[in-house]
């Protein structure tokens, strides 16, 4: 017997769920803050080896394809399995909306369902990054075939977009890119940035962590919190820090997290003779991240100036600001857009001199007197942003 709810939404993304993964954080907060009890939610993902229990408690059904994102064959297989799962779910309870989150292997399965099973279904395509260019940047695609991949991938996006009801982008720049690339006309387009859980991310005083990072109370701690991916070019931070120490020995640099580039960063700090002033904490518990951020005097968000990052909306900046920590960020359009809306974001122009100049410009009293910034960050709290998704679903 078919049961009917106010709305039945299936969320689809070809990625693995994990307690600290961006998708898990996004979906958990979306469900926690916006969707009401009369909304039936099913979730289709590639894998879920470490899905947060809070997320599992908030979905009615979790369907796993057991496929890999980084295989062309598995991407096709994922789309086919999505079609199969959607048919199975729809047979039990009629689906009203399919919310697809990039890449378009998520969208393809939904489009096949719309074409062959239920033409009245409404499809939302949530593009949270320029995933095609990110795949090339991270070398998931052989550079020899990068140009061909881009052409085919964007063409497939163009074809599939014809079946999309509403688009959601994380930034104006990403929206503009897609409007140009896909020639979006007569489509409803929304821009909703990433959200931050201000109940979790707020200033948390932790003397033990502060002392372990700063050493002396006279020292000033600057730091990066996140994944150490090669494409972030975090080596620049270490090189700039070397020059900073030449005249300002009271600074300490902290890297909180882990990633492929960690060994290179550690090796560089030793070769430059500054390893005693740099701390690598390694991976920390997700619940402890606000304590580490709060122990910083300045948070760093360094991203190179390329298409993938220009169209992004770095959640890291919101987390720093939510903990009342001023931000030193590279001058790319994504950071400029955030700096227009939020104070305490200082931009440097990729030169070592500019990095040091902007760092010295930051008043270290800002952390304790940034009530205005704290108020502004509330606009990015999930309780606010999730209401926008409710509107889109309606």
Class level of CATH domain 207-379: alpha beta
Q: CB-based contacts of 201: which residues, under 8 Å, 6+ apart?
A: 289, 290, 293, 318, 319, 322, 323
pLDDT at residue 27 in the model: 77
Element (H, E) at 356: helix 352-361
| pTM exceeds 0.95 for this model | no
According to DSSP, residue 315 is labeled: H
CA–CA separation, 174 and 166 (whole Å)? 15
Strand partners, 174: none
Task: Sort residue 28 into left (φ over 0), alpha (ψ -120 to 50) or beta.
Answer: alpha
5 and 35 in contact (C-beta within 8 Å)?
A: no
pLDDT at residue 160 in the model: 96
CA–CA separation, 178 and 267 (whole Å)? 40
CA–CA separation, 114 and 172 (whole Å)? 28
CA–CA separation, 394 and 390 (whole Å)? 6
CATH 3.40.50.2000 describes domain 7-191? yes
Domain-by-domain residue ranges, the chain? 7-191, 207-379
pLDDT at residue 128 in the model: 87
pLDDT at residue 370 in the model: 57
Q: What is the pLDDT of residues 103-121, one digit of tens each?
A: 889 999 999 999 999 999 9
222 and 300 in contact (C-beta within 8 Å)?
A: yes
Within this chain, domains 7-191 and 207-379 share the same CATH topology: yes
Cα 168-174-177 angle, rounded to 5 deg = 115
| DSSP states along 75-90 | HHHHHHHHHHHHHHHH
In the numeric block, which tokens belong to residue 155?
């063409």
Q: Please give the average pLDDT of every successive group of 10 residues along the chain, which has 394 residues.
A: 69 80 72 68 87 79 89 90 97 94 91 96 93 84 88 93 95 93 90 90 92 90 94 96 95 95 96 96 93 96 93 92 94 95 93 95 60 78 85 85
pLDDT at residue 393 in the model: 87
């Amino acid at each position: 017997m078919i049961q009917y709810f106010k709305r039945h939404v299936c969320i689809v993304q070809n990625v693995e769920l994990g307690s600290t993964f961006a998708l898990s954080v996004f979906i958990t907060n979306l469900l926690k803050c916006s969707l009401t009890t009369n909304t039936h939610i099913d979730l289709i993902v590639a894998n879920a080896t470490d899905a947060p229990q809070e997320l599992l408690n908030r979905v009615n059904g979790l369907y796993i394809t057991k496929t890999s994102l980084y295989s062309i064959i598995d991407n096709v297989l994922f789309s086919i399995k999505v079609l199969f799962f959607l048919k199975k779910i729809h047979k039990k309870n009629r689906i009203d909306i399919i919310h697809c989150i990039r890449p378009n292997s998520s969208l393809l399965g939904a489009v096949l369902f719309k074409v062959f099973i239920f033409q009245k279904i409404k499809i939302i395509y949530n593009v949270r990054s320029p995933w095609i260019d990110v795949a090339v940047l991270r070398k998931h695609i052989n550079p020899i075939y990068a140009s061909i991949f881009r052409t085919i991938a964007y063409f497939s996006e163009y074809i599939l977009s014809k079946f999309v009801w509403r688009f959601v982008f994380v930034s104006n720049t990403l929206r503009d890119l897609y409007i140009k690339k896909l020639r979006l006309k007569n489509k409803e387009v929304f821009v909703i940035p990433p959200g931050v859980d201000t109940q979790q991310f707020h200033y948390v005083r932790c003397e033990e962590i502060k002392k372990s990072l700063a050493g002396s109370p006279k020292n000033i701690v600057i730091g990066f919190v996140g994944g150490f991916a090669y494409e972030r070019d975090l080596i620049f931070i270490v090189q700039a820090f070397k020059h900073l120490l030449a005249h300002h020995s009271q600074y300490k640099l902290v890297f909180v997290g882990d990633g492929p580039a960690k060994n290179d960063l550690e090796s560089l700090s030793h070769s430059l003779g500054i390893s005693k002033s740099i701390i690598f904490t390694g991976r920390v518990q997700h619940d402890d991240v606000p304590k580490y951020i709060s122990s910083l005097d300045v948070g760093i968000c360094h991203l190179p100036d390329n298409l993938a990052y220009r169209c992004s909306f770095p959640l890291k900046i919101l987390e720093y600001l939510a903990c009342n920590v001023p931000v030193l960020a590279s001058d790319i359009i994504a950071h400029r857009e955030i700096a227009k809306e939020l104070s305490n974001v200082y931009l440097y122009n990729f030169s070592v001199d500019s990095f040091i100049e902007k760092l010295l410009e930051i008043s270290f009293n800002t952390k304790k007197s940034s009530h205005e910034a704290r108020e502004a960050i509330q606009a990015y709290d999930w309780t606010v942003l999730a209401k926008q998704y409710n509107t889109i679903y309606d």
